[in-house]
């Protein structure tokens, strides 16, 4: 099994890391490492995220990150497709 990142998710995570790095580069690196560790955990437990429903699409799961962010993903055969990363309060589309 492997993780496949959408360009959108990579950009959104990069934006958040840059935001954290404005205050502390060390904190930004630690936060990113923690996020990637959580996503790697999906390889062993792919159904750990709660079932979500975004834009009417079924089969999308949501992994809560730091209680304020959601990482959406879909399990496909032997791949975890990371779709998006966003603040939980943001309107989903």
- Domain encompassing residue 75: 2-87
Spell 23-49 as b/e; 16+ CB within 10 A means b: eeeeebeebbeebeebbeebeeebeeb
Question: How many separate domains does the chain show?
Answer: 1
Residue 6 lies in a domain: yes
- Does the pTM exceed 0.75? yes
pLDDT band at 92 (very low <50, low <70, confident <90, very high): low
Report the CATH number that the domain containing residue 81 is assigned in CATH.
Answer: 3.30.2310.20
Residue 93 lies in a domain: no
pLDDT for 19 beyond 90: yes
pLDDT band at 88 (very low <50, low <70, confident <90, very high): confident
Residue 50 lies in a domain: yes
Residue 60 lies in a domain: yes
pLDDT for 15 beyond 60: yes
Residue 92 lies in a domain: no
pLDDT, tens digit, 9 for 90 and up, residues 59-87:
899 999 888 889 999 998 899 999 999 88
Residue 22 lies in a domain: yes
């Amino acid at each position: 099994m492997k993780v496949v990142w959408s360009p959108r998710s990579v950009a959104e995570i990069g934006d958040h890391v840059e935001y954290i790095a404005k205050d502390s580069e060390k904190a930004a690196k630690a936060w990113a490492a923690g996020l990637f560790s959580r996503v790697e955990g999906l390889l062993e437990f792919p159904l750990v995220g709660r079932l979500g429903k975004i834009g009417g699409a079924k089969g999308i799961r949501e992994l809560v990150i730091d209680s304020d962010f959601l990482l959406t993903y879909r399990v496909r055969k032997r791949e975890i497709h990371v779709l998006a990363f966003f603040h939980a309060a943001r309107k989903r589309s």
